[in-house]
Amino acid sequence: MKKFKLPQSYYNWTSIIGTTIALVSLFMIVFLFVISILFGAGTSSYMGLVTWIVLPVFLVLGLIIIPIGMLVKRRKDKRQHVVYEKTWPKIDLNDVRTRNATMIFGIGTVFFLLLSSVGSYEAFHYTESVEFCGTVCHKVMKPEYVAYQNSPHAKVACVECHVGSGANWYVRSKLSGLYQVYAVLAKVYPKPIPTPVSNLRPARETCEECHWPEKFYSRQLVVEKHYLADEENTEWDISLQMKTGPTYSALGLQEGIHWHINPNVKVEYIATDTVRQNLPWVRFTNLKTGEVKVFEDEENKLTEEQIAAAEIREMDCMDCHNRPSHDYRPPMRFINDAITAGNISKEIPEIKMKAMEILGIDFPTTDSAMAYIEQELNEYYSSNYEEFYSQHPDLISAAITNIQNEFKKNIFPEMKVRWNAYHNNIGHMEFNGCFRCHNDKHKSERGEVITRNCNLCHSIVAQGVPDTLQVGSIYDELEFVHPNDPYGDWKEYLCVECHSDLY
């Protein structure tokens, strides 16, 4: 039996090193693949990245180095007048060397193509996974990933919203991701990461895959518990009938908040800023009758030239639901909920006020925030409520732990992310939201106004302190009573003008 031989030009250090790199990479891919099958969810979140993206790069690199080494050796030998037996192999399977080369090339090619197809699929699958989006760039994407895990869409894969179906958007997302990878490696990414408002796919191609306009929603009763910043943490309840849908289901989307996505109407607007908070021009079109109305902000009118040059955007779900999975809640809301859930005891004097005071501080790091919360609450209650502190150390300890936990869900100092880093257009308390258009300033030529009447979107059916709760009905709307403004001065302002300074 003749000795197994490779082409003479193969025997050089460059090709041998390339072979070593390729074989080691191949072995590691197979090894990690077996490990992932045996241990499944117990493997590291970075294993997919190494197995299907990093190692295949080294495998291909090694395979490229082999012919480069052979080519260099051939040229070197040619200069030294080394004569090979044959310049081109003779395809004769009776010849051992030709047969060996053919078998190696044929089997190797089939195996490589098989491995490439599996690897390409796994790489595609991995780059589409939630763990790839949320954990590979852990520090950078931590705020988005944590908020996503605590959102209503926690079971929906990131790509379902950020990419959607179709190869075109997949390629676009990966191309845009190349700069993001560079930014992370070079540490030139902004803090906080800006929302790619202009690059988002239209909601009709993503959101409406599950939430379609023809599926209208009935009215909902929302009951909220608030706590005043006084010594007793006085409870203040409010029950709202949210007019998401019509009075009667037979009316479909003819009225209610979701009227904006009625397929029989089209609402368009012009934004003069990149985050779509200033909307001085709004156009309503009734697609059935052809009626058109243009509403302009009287205090901020656009010229004809500005309108002609501006982008006119058709309103869709994302114009209101712009933080559906990455919502960083303000302290007032998550502290109220923590007290309601019993995680923070209402019996602790001034706990609402003290928590709000602490959470209003802009901390440099999460660790410094954790230390300050613990130290400040212990010092405050041991000094000002010494008897309560000595009798209820467990309540103070639980309050500290839960304030820290809520902080870590909503505030991320390292990335400069907190509740006011991103506008949330649902509602009108912390941001203008609805009041971007519904502010009594947008008027048509006929004098029609986009009203800011509270009862247009919701009606109050109960409000006040539990012992003296003012109660109405779903047919009898109560006038809002502000717990800290008995004289009604709030009527002269938008909610955000005061509430944005309370956190």
- Residues 428, 320 within the same domain: yes
- Band of the pLDDT at 21, cuts 50, 70, 90? confident
Q: Please tell me the total count of domains within the chain.
A: 4
Clarify whether residues 136 and 168 are in a common domain. Answer: yes
| Same domain membership, residue 15 and residue 99 | yes
Say whether both 429 and 409 belong to one domain. Answer: no
Shared-domain flag, residues 26 and 104: yes
In whole angstroms, what separates CA 499 from the centre of its chain?
25
CB 111 within 8 A of CB 63: no
**104-113, 207-216, 234-243, range with greatest mean pLDDT:** 234-243
Question: In whole angstroms, what is the distance from residue 422 CA to residue 147 CA?
Answer: 13
d(CA 254, CA 456): 13
436, 304: one domain: yes
In a domain, residue 194? The reply is: no
Domain end marker among 95, 127, 159? 127
167 part of a folded domain: yes
Cβ atoms of 456 and 437 within 8 Å: the answer is no
Same structural domain, 360 and 390 = yes
Residues 72 and 31 in one domain: yes
Global pTM reads 0.77
Q: Give tens-digit pLDDT for 238-271.
A: 999 999 888 887 887 888 888 888 889 999 999 9
Same domain, 467 and 491: yes
State pLDDT tens for residues 365-409. Answer: 999 999 999 999 999 999 999 999 999 999 999 999 999 999 999
User: Is position 455 within any domain?
Assistant: yes
Asked if the structure places residue 51 within a domain, the reply is: yes
Assess whether 15 and 149 both reside in one domain.
no
Are 316 and 430 part of one and the same domain? yes
Q: Does a structural domain hold residue 197?
A: no
Q: Are 309 and 165 part of one and the same domain?
A: no
The DSSP code sequence of 396-460 is HHHHHHHHHHHHHHH-BGGGTB-GGGS---SSSSSS-GGGGT-SS-EE-TT--B----GGGTEEE
* Side chain identity, residue 153: H
Q: Is residue 206 in some structural domain?
A: no
Q: Is there a domain that residue 209 lies in?
A: no
Question: 404: domain range?
Answer: 331-421
- Residue 42 has a pLDDT of 46
Is residue 29 one of the residues assigned to a domain? Answer: yes
